[in-house]
Amino acid sequence: MAIKIILLMVFFAVMIGVGLMCRKKATDVNGFVLGGRAVGPWLTAFAYGTSYFSAVIFVGYAGQFGWKFGVASTWIGIGNAILGSLLAWVILGRRTRIQSQHLGSATMPEYFGKRYGSEALKVVASVIVFIFLIPYTASLYNGLSRLFEMAFPGVSYNVCVIVMAILTGIYVIAGGYMATAINDFIQGIIMIVGIIAVIGAVISGQGGFTEALKSLSEIPCAAADGTALLGGFNSFFGPDPVGLLSVVILTSLGTWGLPQMVQKFYSIKNEGAIAKGTIISTFFAVIVAGGCYFLGGFGRLFSDKLGLDASGLPIGGYDAIIPKMLEGLPDILIGVVIVLVLSASMSTLSSLVLASSSTLTLDMIKGHIVKKMSEKKQVFILRVFIVIFIAISAIIAINKDKLGYIADMMGISWGALAGCFLAPFLYGLYGKWVSRTAVWVNFVFGAGVMILNMIMRASFPAILQSPINCGAFVMLAGLIIVPAVSTITKKPDKALVEDAFACYNKQVNTDIKKNLGN
């Protein structure tokens, strides 16, 4: 216990110290929300990666999909690295940085409002962001709770949630985006070291990698005809390739439409930062995401410790799998795991509260409720909403027994946000033909389908009853809906579109769409 507490105290002291150190860089909106658009490659890449992977991945997704797919769940981590990190940086990074600065947008809803010439679009997008970030935050805390209950059996979980919420609030409120980015870098290093150490310890406890695979191959899984099949959990694509593909799409392509992820590109410093950040972010995802899902793939080897109910599922649900796998580790490693998950959770939480508070302040209150707001007042309101959002998320977390599986809550959140935003944002960066009506239709479709999935799930086709499958469907459907509706509706205003795309023709040493310049 002493080792765990010391590690936590050091961790918290560093986080708060960074926040206080960065407070001078958070005096205006540009500095508080975007770090002055001068954040280098390492900080940006780690901020992207640590916002991507949290306790939701480590505990919820790794446990649930490792159980369902075996070691084939590692493909989810590979998909996250290639589609969710590498291609996201290559396709979105440069253009997002150029066009967002040209339009003067600091948030994704503000981008929609200026790109498509509609204040109503901006307000509705900000409402969607605020509502659907809440279940994601709840899933984050729920994942954290499982490990705290394992590592600190004598400490109230509610106390842990409140302490984490307060400490996260302190460094975000004090230092804004720059404090978050620096802390994300520190937390990212902890995550890399921690996941490598934990995988080594767990696999070693099963007799090594070869022996663990052999043991996994002897566990039967259900074949398509209902018969028992051996070797499914250590096969290349696992026992359910279609289900595996849905998870890859949701967790990888989804990042392209998440405001807390895309806004990382707004703050990139220069062209060199994009090239380096792409490589760093991809390798980070390979190690952290690939490692988490690889670890979860061996969850069934711990069935004797978990216990199974009448339906063959682990007692305590999927979210109990990873904590049970870690129970037998040495105290020093459990301490590392706690700091690892805290790092992942606090980095993601800080990104969520910044995204939520900035969109409420800049996209809803400024210019609508309060007509004139000074820079100082905007930063003050940003900080107030950070407190409010953290308080709401903590209250939800304390009532964790009323929440569903971590993966399902994240599926609802990511499905709705990326379902609404991915297609209009991606096409908006590249296509002059996207109509405002198409964006509205996509917003209604994405949010509507995911809300219906929450309240009347049993009425959906069997394959779409899972929030993960439904979220993946909504994202892909949006890529068809936006161009289809754009072809049959009123064309966008030519002057508006030409102004938005004029930024790509500015001359530096080459076209700015090829080089941001230094």
3-state secondary structure 462-504: HHHCCHHHHHHHHHHHHHHHHHHHHHHCCCCCHHHHHHHHHHH
- pLDDT confidence tier of residue 146, bands split at 50, 70 and 90: low
Name the pLDDT band for 445 (thresholds 50, 70, 90).
very high
Partnered with residue 507 across adjacent β-strands are 511
Most confidently modeled of 103-107, 109-113, 194-198? 109-113
DSSP letters of 131-200? HHHHHHHHHHHHHHHHHHHHH-TTS-HHHHHHHHHHHHHHHHHHHHHHHHHHHHHHHHHHHHHHHHHHHH
pLDDT at 354: 77
Q: What pLDDT was estimated at residue 417?
A: 92
* C-beta separation of 102 from 513 below 8 A: no
Report the Cα 410 to chain-centroid distance in Å. Answer: 9
Q: What is the mean pLDDT of residues 66-94?
A: 92
Tell whether the model's pLDDT for residue 518 goes beyond 90. no
pLDDT for 402 beyond 70: no
What pTM, to 2 d.p., does this model score? 0.84
Q: Which amino acid, residue 274?
A: I
Taking 70 as the threshold, does the pLDDT of residue 499 lie above it? yes
Higher pLDDT, 330 or 258: 258
Nearest to 138 by CA among 383, 357, 411: 411
39 or 263, higher pLDDT? 263
What tokens were used for 325?
Answer: 């796998």
Residue 422 has pLDDT above 90, yes or no: yes
Query: What's the pLDDT band for 508 if we cut at 50, 70, 90?
Result: low
Q: Which residues are bridge partners to 370 per DSSP?
A: 366
Q: What is the pLDDT of residue 18?
A: 82
Provide the pLDDT for residue 480. Answer: 96
Q: What is the mean pLDDT of residues 292-314?
A: 85
Q: Is 27 within 8 Å of 379 (Cβ atoms)?
A: yes
Q: What mean pLDDT do residues 60-86 have?
A: 90
The DSSP secondary structure of 425-453, one letter per residue, reads HHHHHH-S---HHHHHHHHHHHHHHHHHH
pLDDT at residue number 514: 62
Classify domain 2-24+36-400 at the CATH superfamily level: Sodium/glucose cotransporter (1.20.1730.10)
What are the phi and psi torsion angles at 511 (to 5°)? -60, 140
Mean pLDDT, the chain, rounded, equals: 82
**Band (475; pLDDT cuts 50, 70, 90):** very high
Instruction: Identify the pLDDT of residue 281.
Output: 92
**DSSP-H helix ranges across 206-270:** 209-217, 241-253, 259-266
Give the pLDDT of residue 368: 67
pLDDT of residue 26: 67
Task: Examine the pLDDT at 405 and tell me if it is beyond 60.
Answer: no
Domain spans, the chain: 2-24+36-400
Task: Give the Cβ contact number of residue 517 at 10 Å.
Answer: 11
Question: Residue 419 above 70 pLDDT?
Answer: yes
Backbone φ and ψ for 348, nearest 5 degrees, come out as -70, -40
Over residues 427-437, mean pLDDT: 94
Which range has the worst mean pLDDT, 105-114, 220-229, 338-347?
220-229
Distances (CA, A) of 5 to 148, 168, 484: 12, 18, 56
Residue type, 250: L
Local confidence band at 431 (pLDDT 50, 70, 90 cut-offs) = very high
% residues pLDDT > 90 (the chain): 22
Count the neighbouring beta carbons within 10 Å of the beta carbon of residue 514.
11
For the segment 111-137, what is each residue's pLDDT rounded down to a tens digit? 999 999 998 998 899 889 888 887 777
Predicted confidence at residue 77, as pLDDT, reads 92
